[in-house]
Chain A
Amino acid sequence: MDVLFALLAGVLTAAGVYLLLRRSLVRMLFGVILLSNAVNLVLFAAGRTTRAAPPIIPEGLSAPAGAVANPLPQALILTAIVIGFGLVAFAFVLLYRTYATFGTVDADDLAREPERGEKGDGG
C-alpha cells in the first residue's frame, strides 16, 4: 500500500513540476494543484496506512481497545486541502485579471509587457 502511495505521489510530483516549467500560467497553476495533491498523499502516507479499527473509544473505557487507525493525518490533510483551495481560487482570479489586463497568460509575453499603466503608480 505504501509503495502505491509513494509511486502515485512521485508521478503527481513529476507531472506537477513538468507543468510548472511550462510558459502558460494556467498550466503552471495546474502544476501547483497536482503538487498540492502529491503533498497531501505524502502527508497521508506519513501517518501510516493501516487496516485498523476507527479511533473510537468504547463507552466505559478511557483508551481504545486494540490497534486503531491514526486520525491526525486526516485532520492535517483536511486543513491543507481547505487552505490550498482558498489559495488556488485566488490564483485563478489573479490569472483571469492578468488575462483581462494584458490579453495573455504566456509568461514570456507577459515579461515583455510594459509595467507602467494609465493609472500611474501610487505613493
Chain B
Amino acid sequence: MSHLLVLPVLVPLVTAVTMLLAWRSRRVQRVGSLLGAVALLGTTLWIAAAVWNDGVQHLQVGNWPSPFGITLVADVLAAAMLVIVGVTGACVLVYALGSIDAEREGNGFHALYHLLLMGVCGAFLAGDLFNLYVWFEVLLITSFVLLVLGNDRSQVKGAVSYVLLNLVASLTFLAGVALLYGIAGSLNLADLAVRLPEVDAPGLITTVSMLFLVAFGIKAAVFPLFFWLPAAYHTPPVAVTAIFAGLLTKVGVYALIRVFTLLFTQDVGYTHTILLGVAALTMITGVLGAVTQTDVRKILSFHIVSQIGYMVMGLALFTPLALLGAIFYILHHIIVKTNLFLVGGVAHRLAGDFELKNLGGLYRAKPWLAVLFLIPALSLAGLPPLSGFWAKLVILQAGLEAEAYFAVAAALGAGLLTLVSMTKIWNEAFWKPLPDDRSLSPGTPSLAAMVTPVVLLAAVTLSIGLYAEPLVVLAERSAAELLDTTSYVQAVLGEPPTPPTAEVR
C-alpha cells in the first residue's frame, strides 16, 4: 500500500484546476504551470526512489481489496516512464513559456497541458484494463483539444484523421477488454495474469490479443496503422508536437509491452512473430517516409514511426536482453525525439520556416545551435558514443542471438537511412548558405526559455551515452520483472496466487 501513487495524477489535476480558476491572469497561469510541472517531476522521482528501494508499489484506491476496485501499480518500468514524463513535461513547458502565443495561452493551453500529463501518468500507473481504457480516453480528448487549439487551417485538417482513427482504436481496445472479461471474469492485470493460463481456450485468447495489438498498434503508430501520425503531428505549435512526439506513442508501446509480457504469453511463437514482422516493416516504412519529406517536422514525425519499430522489435524477441534493449530504447528515445522537435522549433524561430529549401546558414549564424542539433540527431541515428548507439547495439545483439536476421537487417538499414535524413536536415538547414531572399531574425529574449530545455535534454542524452551503466542496470531489472511476473502479481494480490474459483462457462 503506497499512497504516494496518487500524486502523479493528483498534482497535474490540481495544477490544471488552478489554471482554470486563474483563467484571466496569464501571469498566474505561467508561474503556476511551471510550479506544477516541477512538482510533478519531484513526485515522479520520489516514486522512482520508493520503487527502486522497496520493490513494486501498489495502491488500492478506496481500500477495496484487489482484485476489486481501482488498482494503481508502479513497477520499475512504470516508475522509469513516470520520471521521463516528469523530465520532458518540465522541459517542454519551459520551452512553451518562451514560444507559445498569447492567444493559445489565453484559451487554456496550460490547463490542457497538465491534463494531458495526468492522462499519461494515469496510463502508466493503471493496474487494470478498464482503468487503462479510461486513462487512454483522458489523454486522447486532451490531445484532441491541444491539437486543434489555435484553430489553424492545417490543424483542423490534420486533426480529422487523428480523431477518427484514434476513436476506432479506442473501440477496438474496449472490444478486447469486453471479450477478455467474458473469458476470464476479471480485468485486474495481476488477476488476469493468474487466470488466463488456467483458461482452456488458448485460441480464443490469442484472438483477443490481436484486438489489443490493433488497438495499441494504432496508438503506438506501428505499420500499417501509423497514417494518422504524419498527417497530424506537424500541424500544432512545436511545444505541443514535442510533448506528443515524446509521450503519446510511447504510451501505446508501454501498453503493448504490458499486455504482451503479463497477459498474452500463451502462444509466444505466434503473437510475438507477428510483432516482429510488424516491427521490421514499421522501421522500414517509417524511415522511407522520412527520406521523401522536406519539412523538418514531417521528417521528424516519420522518424517517430520508424523508431517505434525498434522498441516493438525488442518486445517481439522476448528475451531478457531484448526487453532490456526495448526499455533502454524507449527511455533514450523520448528524450532525443522531444529534443529534436524543440531544436526544429528554435530553428523556425530564427529562420521563420520549417521547409528545408527556405532554411540555411544556421551553422554560420548560430554554431551552438548546430551542436545542439547534432547531439540528438546523431543519437537518433545511433552513432557512438551517444545514447542511441547503446540502445541500438543491445537490440541488434538480442536480434542476432535470437537469429531474427530479417529484423536485424531492417534495423541496420533503417539506422543508415536515419543518418541520411539527419544529414539532409544538417546540410539544408545548417550548412548551406541562407537563400538570398530570406534573413535570419535576431534572437528575442524569449529565445533563452526555448534554448534552456534543449541544452538540458542534450545533456541528458550525452550523459546517457557516456555513462550508460545506471540506465542499463535499471532496464535490466525492469526486464527481469517483466519476464518473471510473480513480483508484480504478488504485490497486487498479496498472498501467493491461488487457483481461480470463478466458474467460466
Q: Enumerate chain A residues within 8 angstroms of B137, measured Cβ to Cβ.
A: 83, 86-87
Give Cα distance in the complex from A79 to B128, angstroms.
15
Task: List residues 70-123 of chain A with CB under 8 A from any CB of chain B.
Answer: 73, 76, 79-80, 83, 86-88, 90-91, 94-95, 97-98, 101-102, 110, 113, 115-119, 121-123
Q: Enumerate chain B residues within 8 angstroms of A39, measured Cβ to Cβ.
A: 171, 174-175, 178
Give Cα distance in the complex from A98 to B505, angstroms.
48
CB nearest to B167 among chain A residues:
A32
Contact check: which of B157, B171, B348, B349 meets A115 at CB < 8 Å? B157
Q: Enumerate chain A residues within 8 angstroms of B160, measured Cβ to Cβ.
A: 25, 94-95, 98, 110
Interface residue tally on B, bucketed by range: 35 or more
User: Which of B134, B154, B178 has the most chain A CB atoms closer than 10 A to its own CB?
Assistant: B178
Give Cα distance in the complex from A88 to B354, angstroms.
33
Q: Pick the interface stretch among B12-20, B143-151, B193-201, B407-415.
A: B143-151
Q: B329-356 toward A: CB 8 Å interface, digit per residue (1/0)? A: 0000000000000000100110000100
Contact at A117–B153, with CB atoms within 8 Å?
Answer: yes
CB nearest to B137 among chain A residues:
A83
Say yes or no for B244: interface residue by CB 8 A criterion: no
Q: Enumerate chain A residues within 8 angstroms of B150, measured Cβ to Cβ.
A: 122
Distance in Å from the Cβ of B146 to the closest Cβ of chain A?
12
Say yes or no for B484: interface residue by CB 8 A criterion: no
Give Cα distance in the complex from A36 to B170, angstroms.
9
Contact at B181–A90, with CB atoms within 8 Å?
Answer: no
Q: Enumerate chain A residues within 8 angstroms of B171, measured Cβ to Cβ.
A: 32, 35-36, 39
Say yes or no for B130: interface residue by CB 8 A criterion: yes
Tell me whether chain A's interface is mostly helix, strand or loop, or mixed.
Answer: helix
CB nearest to B100 among chain A residues:
A122
Contact check: which of A45, A87, A123 meets B99 at CB < 8 Å? A123
Q: Enumerate chain B residues within 8 angstroms of A86, measured Cβ to Cβ.
A: 137, 141
Distance in Å from the Cβ of B100 to the closest Cβ of chain A?
8
Interface residue tally on A, bucketed by range: 35 or more
Q: Enumerate chain A residues within 8 angstroms of B175, measured Cβ to Cβ.
A: 38-39, 42
Say yes or no for A1: interface residue by CB 8 A criterion: no
Give Cα distance in the complex from A55 to B345, angstroms.
57
Contact at B157–A32, with CB atoms within 8 Å?
Answer: no
Contact at B174–A121, with CB atoms within 8 Å?
Answer: no
Q: B155-191 toward A: CB 8 Å interface, digit per residue (1/0)? A: 0110110011001101100110111011000000000
Say yes or no for A23: interface residue by CB 8 A criterion: no
Say yes or no for B237: interface residue by CB 8 A criterion: yes
Contact at A47–B181, with CB atoms within 8 Å?
Answer: yes
Contact at B174–A91, with CB atoms within 8 Å?
Answer: no
Evaluate whether A117 and B238 lie within 8 angstroms (CB atoms) in the complex, with A32-B171, A98-B157 already known: no
Q: Enumerate chain B residues within 8 angstroms of A43, measured Cβ to Cβ.
A: 174, 177-178, 181
Q: Enumerate chain B residues within 8 angstroms of A35, measured Cβ to Cβ.
A: 168, 171
Distance in Å from the Cβ of A13 to the closest Cβ of chain B?
9
Contact check: which of B156, B177, B235, B238 meets A97 at CB < 8 Å? B156
Give Cα distance in the complex from A24 to B230, angstroms.
21
Task: List residues 341-390 of chain B with CB under 8 A from any CB of chain A.
Answer: 345, 348-349, 354
Distance in Å from the Cβ of B315 to the closest Cβ of chain A?
26
Contact at B167–A123, with CB atoms within 8 Å?
Answer: no
Give Cα distance in the complex from A80 to B175, angstroms.
11
CB nearest to A75 among chain B residues:
B130
Contact at A122–B157, with CB atoms within 8 Å?
Answer: no
Distance in Å from the Cβ of A107 to the closest Cβ of chain B?
8
Contact check: which of A46, A79, A83, A122 meets B182 at CB < 8 Å? A46
Give Cα distance in the complex from A45 to B354, angstroms.
51
Give Cα distance in the complex from A80 to B136, angstroms.
12
Give Cα distance in the complex from A20 to B161, angstroms.
12
CB nearest to A119 among chain B residues:
B152
Say yes or no for A29: interface residue by CB 8 A criterion: yes
Say yes or no for B73: interface residue by CB 8 A criterion: no
Task: List residues 15-61 of chain A with CB under 8 A from any CB of chain B.
Answer: 20, 25, 28-29, 32, 35-36, 38-39, 42-43, 45-48
Give Cα distance in the complex from A85 to B293, angstroms.
37
Q: Enumerate chain A residues within 8 angstroms of B148, measured Cβ to Cβ.
A: 94, 97
Evaluate whether A91 and B168 lie within 8 angstroms (CB atoms) in the complex, with A39-B175, A122-B150 already known: no
Contact at A46–B179, with CB atoms within 8 Å?
Answer: yes
Say yes or no for B101: interface residue by CB 8 A criterion: yes
Distance in Å from the Cβ of A36 to the closest Cβ of chain B?
6
Contact at A101–B153, with CB atoms within 8 Å?
Answer: yes
- Other than the given A90-B163, A94-B159, A122-B236, 18 more pairs (CB < 8 A) read A28-B164, A32-B168, A32-B171, A39-B178, A42-B179, A46-B179, A76-B130, A79-B134, A83-B134, A90-B145, A91-B164, A94-B148, A110-B157, A121-B152, A122-B150, A122-B238, A123-B345, A123-B349
| 20 CB-based A-B contacts, threshold 8 Å | A25-B160, A36-B171, A43-B178, A45-B182, A76-B130, A76-B178, A79-B130, A83-B134, A86-B141, A87-B141, A97-B148, A98-B157, A101-B153, A116-B154, A121-B354, A122-B101, A122-B238, A123-B237, A123-B238, A123-B348
Interface of B toward A, CB cutoff 8 Å: 99-101, 104, 130, 133-134, 137, 140-141, 144-145, 148, 150-154, 156-157, 159-160, 163-164, 167-168, 170-171, 174-175, 177-179, 181-182, 235-238, 345, 348-349, 354, 505
The 3 closest A-B pairs by CB, nearest first: A117-B153, A46-B182, A43-B178
Interface of A toward B, CB cutoff 8 Å: 20, 25, 28-29, 32, 35-36, 38-39, 42-43, 45-48, 73, 76, 79-80, 83, 86-88, 90-91, 94-95, 97-98, 101-102, 110, 113, 115-119, 121-123
